Amino acid sequence: MRVEIFIPEPSRSGREGDRGALRRKAHYQETMEKRQLGPRISPLDVHNYNFHSILGQGGFSKVVLPSLANRKVAMKVIKKTPECNYNSIRIEASVLMMLHDNPFLCQGYVGFQTQHYAFLVMDYLSGGSLARHLEPGARHSSFLHNSGIVHRDLKPDNILLDQDGHVKICDFGLAVPNVFGDKTISGRAGTLGYMAPEVLQRQRYNAAVDWWALGIIICQMASGDSPFYEGNNREKIINSTIIDEPRITH
């Protein structure tokens, strides 16, 4: 579905401004008609939205959950203040417009403004943020460590989601129990690419090796790449992990 977003300039006085407003209104009615939201319900009137809850809040804006024509959307509400960066708002709207062909990126629908606020309407993504999934993984690792268990093989394949989207750590085949306090263990165990340098160098180690692996996983989730060499050459993987500075791709 094609997305067209436009943040109108502040209203101008006189007939020219009125004609411009009418053209913008006609443009959006036509656009939303194509989206099957119906021409009779204008997405440019904030009073046509039914507001349900606040999804998030920042210094100058908040994201709320409204619905229009029984369709839930996310709406970013930006308060217009002297400190407000209007160019940033237009850039965000333009970027949302550019992403309409990618099903893996948030889709924008419409942008409009009132005297005191600017609004960006976009997809409502009910699954929540990535932080929702990262935080349980860290919390579950802490529970293991507080129980004296070092997993030793944390990797994406061993962190699963149940049918309700809850994060579950699994596969304890390499786990070592009773590792409390200053106690350390030894032995090369785990999966190359997620093993900490001390494991690869056959040094003694503790639960910190699990945090290393979780850090690799977070980097992969954020950028799509490991911060170290991730080819098929075993020796290069080992040497990169031990010697190289981590690289974060953008």
Query: Pick the catalytic residue: 101, 153, 157, 171?
Result: 153
Parallel, antiparallel or unpaired: strands 117-122 and 159-161 = unpaired
C-alpha angle 227-233-239 in degrees, rounded to nearest 5? 55
C-alpha angle 173-176-177 in degrees, rounded to nearest 5? 120
Is 175 in contact with 151 (CB distance < 8 Å)?
A: yes
Active site residue 153: yes
Is 100 in contact with 1 (CB distance < 8 Å)?
A: yes
Q: What is the DSSP string of 130-164?
A: HHHHHHHHHHHHHHHHHTT-B-----GGGEEE-TT
- Residues recognised as catalytic: 153
